[in-house]
Structure 1
Amino acid sequence: MRSTVRDEMTEAVVAYEEKPREQWLFDYPAQVALTCTQIWWTTDVGMAFSRLEEGYENAMKEYYKKQVSQLNTLITMLIGQLSPGDRQKVMTICTIDVHARDVVAKIIAQKVENSQAFVWLSQLRHRWDERERHCFANICDAQFLYSYEYLGNTPRLVITPLTDR
């Protein structure tokens, strides 16, 4: 079971850029799609920080606009016809995406320009290590190997500033 989840994640994290996200997410189980979405959020914010450090002042704001666009696409999908399983998957990704958008908005509002800032490091960040072919979860200076335990297609709690703390 764990090797299957890991194999699916190995494939999905690479395939993420090959087609629009709203199509890609139907190619993989909910847990894999959600985790890979979180991996790519970490990657995209990291790229925005790199661009900021290179002097491109609007990098984070442009990424924020991309997030809003992605959320609008998910909302449009939820209005349409979806199977119960796909609806649950899209709602769960939407829930996590709202939190991710709020984190980026906070980074912009606080004028954070460095990926080593606590506002960013204090977030749960998933990353894919291509050399080890493993997913890791990072928060502050802690790193954990993702366990690939099957979680199913379940809803997530809305993340508020209080629950985030």
Structure 2
Amino acid sequence: MRSTLRNLIPQALGTYEDKPREQWVFDYPAQVALTCTQIAWTSEVGVAFASLEKGYENALKDYNKKQIARLNALISLLLGNLSAGDRMKIMTICTIDVHARDVVAKMIQTKVENSQAFAWQSQLRHRWDEGKKHCFANICDAQLLYAYEYLGNTPRLVITPLTDRWAPHTSPCPDPVPCVPPW
């Protein structure tokens, strides 16, 4: 299962731009589609920041408009006939897309100007490393290898500013990793 996910993710990324995303999502299992949309979001925000740094002042605003259009296209799908699995996949991607839209909107509002800003670095950013043939999750200066664990086609927690924070006093430490408080 893990090797299948690891093999499907780069295939899905390779076809991500071939058709509208609201069609592309039906080509892959839920976990692959969700992971790839998160990888694409990281990459696309990176491109927007690169354009912003080159002087294109509306780069993030234009990307945010694209996010909203994509989200509306997925919402339109939810109004139609879908199998239970496809409906769950689309709803889950919508949940993650809403958070991604809100992150970009807040960066626009607070006038974030480069990819090194904490507002961006503090986000969970997925990326595919073509050289290592692996997916990584980055946040701040931490980099974790994506474990390709089975997540299933289930709903995700709605991400709010409160759920987006890590609360060390309420989070159990996973064994065998020693629990060292960040302070």
TM tier relative to shorter chain? over 0.9
Question: What TM-score, normalized to structure 1?
Answer: 0.99
- Matched residue SS, 2:157: coil
Q: Which amino acid aligns with 2:67?
A: Q
| Residue-pair matches, total | 165
Separation (CA, whole Å) in 1 of partners of 2:120 and 2:35: 18
- Matched residue SS, 1:163: coil
How far residue 151 of structure 1 moved from its aligned partner, in angstroms, is 1.3
Alignment of 1:37 onto 2:34: no
Partner of 2:66: 66
Partner of 2:24: 24
Alignment of 1:95 onto 2:95: yes
How far residue 150 of structure 1 moved from its aligned partner, in angstroms, is 1.5
Flag the structure with more relative contact order, 1 or 2, with Cα contacts below 8 A and sequence separation at least 6. 1
Separation (CA, whole Å) in 2 of partners of 1:59 and 1:151: 34
How far residue 68 of structure 1 moved from its aligned partner, in angstroms, is 0.3
- Matched residue SS, 2:4: helix
Q: Which amino acid aligns with 2:82?
A: L
| Structure 1 stretch displaced more, 98-107 or 18-27 | 18-27
How far residue 19 of structure 1 moved from its aligned partner, in angstroms, is 1.1
How far residue 30 of structure 1 moved from its aligned partner, in angstroms, is 0.2
Aligned alpha-carbon RMSD (Å): 0.6
How far residue 14 of structure 1 moved from its aligned partner, in angstroms, is 1.2
Separation (CA, whole Å) in 2 of partners of 1:72 and 1:4: 31
Separation (CA, whole Å) in 2 of partners of 1:112 and 1:139: 17
Q: Which has the larger radius of gyration?
A: 2
How far residue 76 of structure 1 moved from its aligned partner, in angstroms, is 0.4
| Structure 2 residue ranges without an equivalent (≥5) | 166-183
User: Alpha-carbon deviations, 1:115-152, whole Å to 9, x = none?
Assistant: 00000000000001111111000000000000111211
How far residue 95 of structure 1 moved from its aligned partner, in angstroms, is 0.2
Partner of 2:175: none
Q: Which amino acid aligns with 2:99?
A: H
Q: Which amino acid aligns with 2:148?
A: Y
Separation (CA, whole Å) in 1 of partners of 2:161 and 2:151: 25
Q: Which amino acid aligns with 2:122?
A: S
Q: Which amino acid aligns with 1:3?
A: S
Q: Which amino acid aligns with 1:79?
A: L
Separation (CA, whole Å) in 2 of partners of 1:150 and 1:163: 22
Separation (CA, whole Å) in 2 of partners of 1:69 and 1:24: 15
